[in-house]
Copies of this chain bind each other. A is one copy, B any other.
Amino acid sequence: MSPDPVKTGLLLVGVRGSIGTTVLHGLEALRGGQAPTGLVTETPQFSNTDWADLGRFRVVGWDIGGDCHRAAEDLSRIGVLPADLLELCAGVRDRLNVSVAPGIPEPEDSNMADRASVDRLALSLPDAVQALRDDIRSWKQDEGMRRMVVVYLATAERQRKVPEEWLDESADPMELLKDAPHDLSRSVLYALAAIAEGVPFVNFTPAPGGSIPAVAGFAKRNGVPVLGNDGKTGETLIKTALAPMFRDRGLNVMAWEGYNMLGNRDGAALADPDRKAGKLANKSHVIHSILDSERVHSGVSIEFVPSLHDLKTAMDFVHFEGFLGAKMQLQFTWQASDSALAAPLVLDLARLALLAQERGEGGQLKAAASFFKDPLGVKDHDFHRQMDRLRAWVRHAAEPS
């Protein structure tokens, strides 16, 4: 592949969190020759695609607090970041710390936010979005970035009602913003700032983002791709890879119970029932969708188990019926580092967003469905069909224009 001289800005919301920190260090490791394990865009099926050069990615972003060094040390102690990589990247973290901009906390979280972020809470929503736009412009200028992507990695948001006037695709969200409730989803603020600046927006957490019609319409009119929602990294990935087999074999799934345990900041946040609700809705819906049946008993729970740290553990039990009513079962246990699963997908999604932008495809990018628990514009949760969709779209994009 030809060298890509374009410098790309990867603008992460929650840049000092576990995923952000893993992305930061991972990019350095890839530059150092580490194998790109876990990157979809590096699998052989996409070897002919001219993806954005990860070697030219530069991480900046927003956060409402935290410390890059501390986050990295925590991830190293639990084995996600190798000790030598931690050491190697001290300077990279120093540089990042300098360039991080204050975030906009949810009102309920002001006590966890640093002073600069709390100050942003005092702004009107239009002013807050303007501040984010200013951040984007100054990073672009200061770093000489030729293109950028915003990836929303904030903690699972609390569920909030979307004001009715936002459900109109043709509405102008910048206008609506003036009268919107002050606790409007933060994902919307970042999405609007990104779109207004012509920067693709990827929503990796359970939050509305580009699923709100007024936001999606705005993106489409501006020719800016929006991707999301809610990264499909673990239990739901397995569910959407396995459930099609039950469907295709005519086996009658009676119950699919999923028990999730995790111990990181995301896990602690999910102790809040409001935040948990959004996540669980995305996780349980997929089974009914793939099996085309509301009769499946599909329970999902998430428990905060501190000792697990980043090691997300899911135990699932599938009870199904075969020929002549024979009762059968499948159980599985999945154990994997949440951050190590998510980080490479963030890079994949940035590449997809850039490719879509290059091709002039604004609005919800359906081709990215396989990456999300609640894919924008796509009702089919079958992982394999979603991958077919991705392969078809990439292949087309890869053709000489």
> CB within 8 Å of B: which residues of A?
22, 25-26, 29, 34-40, 42-45, 79-83, 85, 237-238, 241-242, 244-245, 247-252, 254-255, 257, 259, 261, 292, 297, 299, 301, 303, 305-308, 313, 315, 317, 319, 321-337, 340-341, 343-344, 370, 383-384, 387-388
* From A250, A259, A306, A328, residue with most partner B Cβ within 10 Å: A250
- Given A25-B324, A307-B254, answer yes or no on A336-B332 (Cβ-Cβ < 8 Å): no
A251's nearest neighbour on chain B, judged by CB, is B38
Q: Check A45–B248 contact: CB distance below 8 A.
A: yes
Q: Check A80–B326 contact: CB distance below 8 A.
A: yes
In the bound complex, residues from chain B placing their C-beta under 8 Å from that of A332 are 330-333
Taking a contact as CB atoms closer than 8 A, the residue among B34, B81, B383 that contacts A245 in the complex is B383
Q: How far is the CA of A340 from the CA of B331 in the complex (A)?
A: 19
Question: Which 5 pairs show the lowest CB-CB distances between chains A and B?
Answer: A254-B307, A326-B340, A328-B336, A384-B384, A241-B245
Minimum Cβ distance to chain B for residue A339 (Å): 8
In the bound complex, residues from chain B placing their C-beta under 8 Å from that of A325 are 34, 37, 82
- Given A325-B37, A326-B79, answer yes or no on A299-B303 (Cβ-Cβ < 8 Å): yes
Q: How far is the CA of A279 from the CA of B344 in the complex (A)?
A: 38
* From A43, A321, A325, A387, residue with most partner B Cβ within 10 Å: A325
In the bound complex, residues from chain B placing their C-beta under 8 Å from that of A79 are 79, 326-327
In the bound complex, residues from chain B placing their C-beta under 8 Å from that of A297 are 305-307
Q: How far is the CA of A14 from the CA of B319 in the complex (A)?
A: 29
Q: How far is the CA of A370 from the CA of B38 in the complex (A)?
A: 27
Q: Check B336–A329 contact: CB distance below 8 A.
A: yes
Q: How far is the CA of A248 from the CA of B390 in the complex (A)?
A: 11
Q: Check B331–A326 contact: CB distance below 8 A.
A: no
In the bound complex, residues from chain B placing their C-beta under 8 Å from that of A301 are 259, 301
Q: Check A250–B344 contact: CB distance below 8 A.
A: yes
Known: A257-B259, A328-B340. 17 other contacts (CB 8 A): A37-B251, A42-B250, A43-B250, A79-B79, A238-B245, A241-B244, A245-B383, A257-B261, A259-B301, A259-B315, A301-B301, A307-B319, A315-B317, A317-B333, A322-B340, A323-B343, A326-B340
Q: How far is the CA of A384 from the CA of B334 in the complex (A)?
A: 22
Q: How far is the CA of A257 from the CA of B260 in the complex (A)?
A: 10
A-B contact pairs, 25 of them (CB 8 A): A22-B324, A34-B324, A37-B252, A37-B323, A43-B249, A79-B79, A79-B326, A80-B324, A238-B245, A241-B244, A248-B370, A248-B387, A259-B259, A297-B305, A299-B305, A315-B315, A323-B340, A324-B340, A324-B343, A326-B340, A328-B337, A328-B340, A329-B334, A330-B332, A384-B384
Minimum Cβ distance to chain B for residue A201 (Å): 23
Q: How far is the CA of A340 from the CA of B325 in the complex (A)?
A: 9
Q: Check B337–A250 contact: CB distance below 8 A.
A: no
Q: Check A82–B37 contact: CB distance below 8 A.
A: no
Q: How far is the CA of A82 from the CA of B44 in the complex (A)?
A: 37
In the bound complex, residues from chain B placing their C-beta under 8 Å from that of A370 are 248
Q: Check A83–B83 contact: CB distance below 8 A.
A: yes
In the bound complex, residues from chain B placing their C-beta under 8 Å from that of A326 are 79-80, 336-337, 340
Q: How far is the CA of A43 from the CA of B250 in the complex (A)?
A: 6
Q: Check A323–B22 contact: CB distance below 8 A.
A: yes
Q: Check A249–B261 contact: CB distance below 8 A.
A: no
Q: Check B250–A39 contact: CB distance below 8 A.
A: yes
